[in-house]
Amino acid sequence: MKNFFHRYWLWMAAAALLLTGAIIWLVFPPYGNLASEVSEGSFTTEELFREFTGDPTGTSLRLSGKVIILEGKVAATDKGYIILGQEMVLIRCIFRKTIYDRKPNLAVGDSVTLKCVCRGLNLMEVLVTDCISINKVSR
């Protein structure tokens, strides 16, 4: 019986440690200070989309999980993301969702420069996450 309770407390301590780690990771994401990260490169929406459609495997190996600077025009906007590009050249930019970050007010047609983490080609669009706005230039 003593052995059972000893194992029970070990499992509870491990679960508490895991839960604490998950909470810390959610409050302070891995790219906590994205503004000071060195970027892998600077791309326009057309250049980044062309890179991924020309050589998807090589570009994914080179850019996935890397910080990039992205410039383009806003094609659509929603609650937690915007879409940059035009017609079939689309890049979905998902903004950071921490209590310290706010999504910038962007309208369709605005030119914007973002610093974000490239995630790769997602069916018909390139996906970038953890975006922060560096510069916004109105239409």
Give the whole-angstrom CA distance, residue 89 versus residue 79: 21
What's this model's pTM, rounded to 2 decimal places? 0.70
Give the whole-angstrom CA distance, residue 123 versus residue 31: 25
Mean pLDDT of the 19-23 span: 86
Is residue 101 very low, low, confident or very high in pLDDT (cuts 50, 70, 90)? low
Residue 100: the pLDDT is: 58
Q: Tell me the one-letter amino acid at 98.
A: T
